[in-house]
Amino acid sequence: MQEISQKKKVLYSAVQPSGDLTIGNYLGAIKNWVALQEEYECFYAMADMHSITVRQNPATLRQKTLELAALYIACGVNPEKCTLYVQSTVPCHAELTWVLNTFTYVGEMERMTQFKDKSSKHADNINMGLMDYPVLMAADILLYQADVVPVGVDQKQHLEITRDIANRFNNIYSPTFKVPEPIIMKVGAKINSLQEPEKKMSKSDTNVNASVFLSDDRDAVMRKFKRAVTDSQTSVRFDPTQKPGVSNLLTIYSVFSGKTIEEAERDFEGKGYGDFKLAVGEVVADALAPIQAEQKRLLADKGYLNEVLTAGASQAYRAARKTLAKVYRKVGFYQLDK
Ligand code: TRP
């Protein structure tokens, strides 16, 4: 169990267990989670309550939640150093969401970019949860008095609304919530689609060759890189505007091999695109193999995973309950005599 140190700043992050993770998610989120756990007191959640804002298959959601926990541990998230837990196992998230709902305006939720996107994508199921998604996320973060939240650009608006809600509450009552700061990830690499290299690689891309998933086996990885879109020139050069496909592959090669872009360019001087794509595929497949093996080993040990998630839930609960008790007192909820 992690030692709760007074000095370390608190970091909160969560990921939805729905959908498969791509190598972009790996570089953008998981690798950072691993690096950040040394410096911060980290709370890492599988945000299954967020997932159900879009219809899920229950058995699949449950399985994916476990698989994701195993994946994070396989990637180096250390449950001894941080609090790894499943959002729905800590009731405080739902409880604080209710209170925060009364400090959030319908109009501002309707204007959220992600809500508008998802409403058009899931026009048959624009449920209240979908609209309330940012408030649940604010509750996640504020419960743990997080100092910092690592975010990608797509989540920036959610962090801004979290800060607004926190400030609103603090101003009406008295300082209750830490107002969190976003942190910009150290690994700045942005991974784009292998098929449309001007677009971000996305786990929900309908083109199967566009995204490389962490669960892809060597054959699939090699096949996808072989089919990656490049250009009609021949030189392996980093130039995102003129050569987005090649530049994306160079970025992937660079982050997976630990080499700089310049070193990567040198590796492929005088080589053709065919050899280049093969080499990128190999570097990625080699990096994924040990992670997949470790994830598989962990998934075979459900007892251990359950132990980790149980400990995580009670650790998270302790921290969250403290904040929630304060909130309940401030808003005037009846306090039972002890
Ligand atoms: N909405 C985030 C995503 O889809 C996941 C998430 C839920 C989250 N709660 C959070 C991220 C709190 C950071 C902090 O990526």
Ligand 1 pocket, Cβ-based, cut-off 6 angstroms:
12-16, 47, 50, 137, 140-141, 149, 155
pLDDT recorded at residue 2: 53
pLDDT digits (tens, 9 = 90+) for 228-248: 999 999 999 999 999 999 999
pLDDT digits (tens, 9 = 90+) for 22-64: 998 887 778 888 989 999 999 999 999 999 999 999 999 999 9
Tell which one of 155, 181, 183 to mutate to probe ligand 1, the residue whose CB is within 8 A of the most ligand atoms: 155
Average pLDDT (7-36) is 88
Beta-carbon contacts of 295 under 8 Å, excluding residues fewer than 6 positions away, are: 67, 70, 71, 73, 74
pLDDT recorded at residue 27: 76
- Catalytically annotated residues: 118, 200, 203
Task: Give dist(CA 216, CA 194) in Å, integer.
Answer: 14
Sorted by where each starts, the structural domains of the chain and their CATH numbers stand as: 10-184+302-331 (3.40.50.620), 218-295 (1.10.240.10)
pLDDT recorded at residue 205: 87
pLDDT over threshold 50, residue 187 = no
Pairing outcome for strands 148-150 and 41-46: unpaired
- Assign residue 46 a region: left if phi > 0, alpha if psi is -120 to 50, beta otherwise? beta
pLDDT digits (tens, 9 = 90+) for 62-101: 999 999 999 999 999 999 999 999 999 999 999 999 999 9
Q: What is the atom index within ligand 1 of the atom nearest the CA of 50?
A: 7
Q: Are 183 and 148 in contact (CB under 8 A)?
A: yes
For atom 2 of ligand 1, the residue with the nearest CA is 15
- Assign residue 325 a region: left if phi > 0, alpha if psi is -120 to 50, beta otherwise? alpha
Average pLDDT (299-320) is 98
**Does this model's pTM top 0.85?**
yes
For atom 14 of ligand 1, the residue with the nearest CA is 13
The rounded Å distance from CA 216 to ligand 1 centre is: 24
Letter string b/e over residues 20-44, b meaning 16 or more CB atoms within 10 A of that residue's CB: ebbbbbbbbbbbbbbebbeebbbbb
Which residues are paired to 11 by β-bridges? Answer: 42, 148
Average pLDDT (129-148) is 98
